[in-house]
Each structure stands twice: as structure tokens, then as C-alpha cells.
Structure 1
Amino acid sequence: MAEKILMKGNEAIGEAAIVAGCRHYFGYPITPQTELTEYMARRMPQLEGVFLQAESEIAAINMVYGAAGAGARVMTSSSSPGISLKQEGISYIAGAELPCVIVNIMRGGPGLGSIQPAQGDYFQATKGGGHGDYRLLVLAPNSVQELVDLTILSFDLADTYRTPVMLLGDGALGQMMEPVKFAAEKTGYIAKPWAATGLRGRQTPNIINSLHLQPEKLEEHNIHLQKKFAQIAGREVRYEELYTEDAEIILVAYGITSRIARSAMEKARAEGIKAGMFRPVTLWPFPAAPLARLAAKAQTFLTVELSAGQMVEDVRLAVNGAKPVHFYGRTGGMMPSPKSIYNEIVKIVNGKGGK
């Protein structure tokens, strides 16, 4: 697919996964990501792949565990409450060091909430929603093209580090349509000599497991995992900066919110306010060091989220008290307008904004 084509975000994720070599998908329908499940139901049989609508989200994530353990490139997707149901399985997969891609198209919460866009799953994604000491590599696209590009990247990162990777989108990105371009289908995948595929010339079979009954062994495994997470944190930080060179106030936003915040920032600059923007692309590892460097020259920060305030905690940790960090958020599926964010910028610049 060399030319750009118009695609809905959810369907673009599915095609991107196919380009990345995914031939196994296990899921369960939930709005606003159901189009992704429908797309994979149609495309997998055409490619002699495996599509299975599981009886539940819990079943789906454990099917992912099995396929990943056998060395397949495998994906599942859901939306907020469905991801909550998958958390035990995600912890198992992280503990067993299995590569897979998990897509969360976030909706309003808590509870069943609504089917509207939200970003209230940031804590769940970045702090480990399941039990134990583990991390997910979390990527946050802000366009349909980035949904494509970061889906493909997610499969590569998962295989490179033998870890689950989460693509964290939202209902707006999943439902919107934009022109996208797909690269040629990938070839030359990373070898997986650890996969449980029978003996195949080996003296002993590979065993996939996350259970370590001896405390010494479990601690040894945890130390190994933490070293891997530190390696990821040192290598895989991704972010975007706009007009931060002379910015006195820097907006921090991710995903769909970053596009709205960018419009507000551009309006502010047109009105003579030195505003800039910082967009984390990896939510974990969070780009704390680049933000800390910006705190040395900017006067203040404004974090904008579709939540009651979650990423703002990581922004404040990164800034470490060097400069004020303000917050503006909408919840319940409500989206801020560029004007409302611009008004917050003006309040802060005039000394009337809250923290």
C-alpha cells in the first residue's frame, strides 16, 4: 500500500498489525474499539491467520499468553473495562517474558462509565495495573498515521525486549478517519529460540512459566526483569517538542489531547504569548529527563488531560519543584476546546491560574 488511503483508526491498527506480521488475534468486542475486532475477523481468514472471539476478556488474554509462548506475533485489543479484566493475564505475560501487543482504546470511567473518549487509564497502563513488579512499554499515538506507525513499532519492541507492549489510544482516535500510508510488509523477524515449540532437535523442551516457588529464584527473576526495564528506559524514550526554545509556558499533553493543546498553543503564540508544547510519545518510559531540562528555562507548565489528573503527577516528578506545574482536565468523555485551553494559558500567564 504505497498510496495514502482513508481509514478509520481502529481498522488502521488492524492493517498495521498485519503489515507487522501479526497472524494471531484474540479479543472480545467492546465499544469504542469493536471495529478493530471486526476488521481482524475479516482479514485473518484471508491470510490463513487465526482470529478467535473469546468467551471473555480473561479468556482472550490467556490465549495471547499461549500464542506468544509458541513464538507467534500476537495481538489483543479492548477498551478500558475490558483491559481491567485482562490485568492478571498481563502480569503473567510480563512475568513469563512473552512479547505481545495490547491495544487499549480508552473510554470514560470509572466503572462502565461511557463510550466516549477519555485518558483515565494512564495510571493503569504506566504504573502496572496487575500484581507484582513489572512494567509495560506504553506508546501513545496522536493521529491515525501514528496508530499505524506505532502499532508496527510495538511488535518490534515486544520481540526485542520479550515484553508486552501497550498501544494506548482513545475513542476519538479509534473512531476518526484520516489518510494513512502503510509500508511494505515486514520480513526478517527476530528469532525466538526460547519459544515452546517442542524439542525440534533440542535435548530438553523450552518451558514458559511465571511461577517461582523458591523466594531466592523469584527474587533473582525480579532483579533480571528490573535490569531489562532499566535498559528499556535508557533506550526507548520518545517525545515531541514544539516551540520550546523560547517558551515561557509549556503545555504537556499526549494522544488526541495534544492536538487540541497544539491549536491552543498556536493561538497563544499568535497573541504574543511565548507558549510551547511537549508531547510524550512513550508514556512509559516517561520522558522525565527532557522535561527536567526544559524546567531550567521555562517559567511554568500546563498539563492537559482527559482525566482528573494522572500524567500530571509524572510531570511534577520530572520538574521536581523547579517550576510550577498547572493542570487542566476534562472527564467523563468531555473534550476540551482549543479556546478553553487558551483561556487557561492566559489565566496562568496573568497569575490567576490554579495548580
Structure 2
Amino acid sequence: MPTALTDLCRHPIVQAPMAGGASGPELAAAVCQAGGFGFLAAGYKTADGMYQEIKQLRALTDRPFGVNLFMPQPSLADTSAVEVYREQLAGEAAWYETELGDIDGPSDDGYEAKLAILRDDPVPVVSFTFGCPSRAVFDAFAKVGTYTVVTVTTAAEAQAAQWSGADVVCVQGVEAGGHQSTHRDDPHADGTGAGLGLLALLAQVRETVQIPVIAAGGLMRGAQIAAVLAAGASMAQLGTAFLVTPESGANPLHKQALTNPLFTHTELTRAFSGRPARGLVNRFLREHGPYAPAAYPAVHYLTSTVRKAAAKAGDAQGMNLWAGQGHRLAREMPAGRLVEVLMAELDAARAALGQDRGAAEPDVTGGAA
């Protein structure tokens, strides 16, 4: 077993696990082959669907890779707010000539079945979103040689992950696209500006935990990677930057929207899933975001049919267009080529500071500053 997560790849670049189809075997394989670290997103997939993608990825590359799991969410005790939201979305369903989804889908995302598969047929890395597993889960993965990563949005969450036995924390700044990986969904924090930017959060986490840190949130250029490595991260995780690559499974409308001048900015919203997520501001987000309840994954199931119908109709105004704050910097090129370009930019940024790649390698053994 390697002595550090960074021993699994040549470059300190992690391709984020983006659920919903973007992060499939083709994208992960391309990133791995280029020397980065690729991830499969198991969220919203069945346990067997996850396993089939793992087999596909293994056929595409012999390089190490990771699999991301969603933590189980509390069952929705009161559905009244979701039913009110259903009434508000009736016009959307009629417009797209579809029915609203059934909110009674599973809240555990097949978690236990996925854990069982990953223990029986281990992969190099497993990461967790929306919470932190028990020590027993971490111990079981340690026994089979699997590194574990927990995504965190506060220093307290990072400390809890370290105490529980995680090998690494992925620090997610508020700039990140897609869902905020808070361990406790607090609707009272909505609109308060409570989320921290990546550099501020990274500094806090580095002074709180002694395990290695991956930095995520709005990173689109090699110079930004250099900045987070200099700030103490071991690796940098990029999601939006890889969305527009041909290997990405994102909808073409989603890819086009990232650099379309029509979409000028992003916001955090509950409109599509019931959990705060950053996406491009479109009609659906503007009209329904202010009224969406804190009810994940019920709202995700409720809106799923409308989102699919909007995509089928070619209407980006009715889709969830997840994107980080740096979305306008997206570059359409193959994923492997993007890794090469990012590394060239990283080297240039280091050279500008009188460094070289070897001299500037970050501390990957962890340790508070």
C-alpha cells in the first residue's frame, strides 16, 4: 500500500466525482491515464450500476481510481412542505408535458449495498459526501487497503472526520459547483453567507487536523492549483473544469451553458434537489429557488422528471446546470489534454515564484501548520 494518497498518481490533480452522469468511466480513465486521479460518482446509482461502472473503468485503465458514495440522509418526517412545492411546480410539469416525480424514493442511496461491494472487491480510494461514516466503516476499508476521504465544509467537520478515522479530508469551499457537502443541512444558514471561501477554509482546516487535505472549489487554472498547494493542500480537486471535456457525461446543453454569455453567474439553491447546490442562474432557479423546501432527496425525486423533460426538449432553462464560480474559465478540450495544460500552468506559476515541481511538492504526510 502506498504511503500517501499522492503516491497513487503523478500529478496533484483530482477529477471531482460529479453525480448525475458527468463522472463516468470514460472521464475517470482519461484523467488517470494522463497522470491525474479520476473518480467515479456512485451517487444516484444502484449498487449494481456502480459495480458495472467499476468494471468498465478497470477495462479502460490499470491506474488507481476512486469511487464516491453519498451518505444516507434522514427520512423526511413531514412532507407537507414538499406537497406545497409540488403544487407550485404543477405549471412546470404541464409545460414540459410530464408528471412530477414520486417523492418516496430511497433516502439511503443504496449505501450499505455499495459498502459491501467495495469491501468485497476493493478499489484504491473511497470518498464520502453529505456526512461522515462510523469508525467501523473506516476500519473495514483500512483492512482491505482502501484510502478513505471525507468531504468537509467546516473545520469542525474535518476534525470529526479525523477522529472517526478518515485518511484524508477534501475541503470544499463555497465556490464549488454542485451540492455543498455539509454534514448537517441547516436551512437557517441559507442566504446568511455562512459558507467559507476555499482559501480561508483551507487555512482553518490545516490548523485543525493532522491528516492530508484535498482542496476543492472554483479551481479552473494551474495558478489556482499552485495557490492551494502553497496554502497546504496535498492535491487540488476540479469538477467544473472537467464538465466540458468530451469524456464528460454531462448533457451537451449543460456543457454549452457554462460559457454561454446568457448565464452570467451562479447561486446556491434548493430548487432542484432540496439541498443547497451551486448552479447557473436560469429561469427555474429564479422562479422556484426562493420557495424550495429543505427536503433532500424528496425534492430531487420530485423535480427529476421535469429536469429530464426539459433536457429532452432542449431547454436549458428548466435544467439543473451545476457549476462552480469559475465556470466562465471552462476550456473545451480532451480531459487528458486538460490535465497536461493544468500541469504546464502549475509549473509556470511555480517558476514565477522561483520554484520547480520537485522543490515545491507539498507536505503529503499531513500535520497542522
Q: Report if TM-score (shorter chain) is over 0.5.
A: no
Q: TM-score, normalised by structure 2?
A: 0.28
The two structures have a TM-score, normalised by structure 1, of: 0.29
Task: Indicate the structure whose relative CO is greater, using CA pairs within 8 Å and at least 6 residues apart.
Answer: 2
Please identify which structure carries the higher strand content.
1
Highest CA radius of gyration, 1 or 2?
Answer: 1
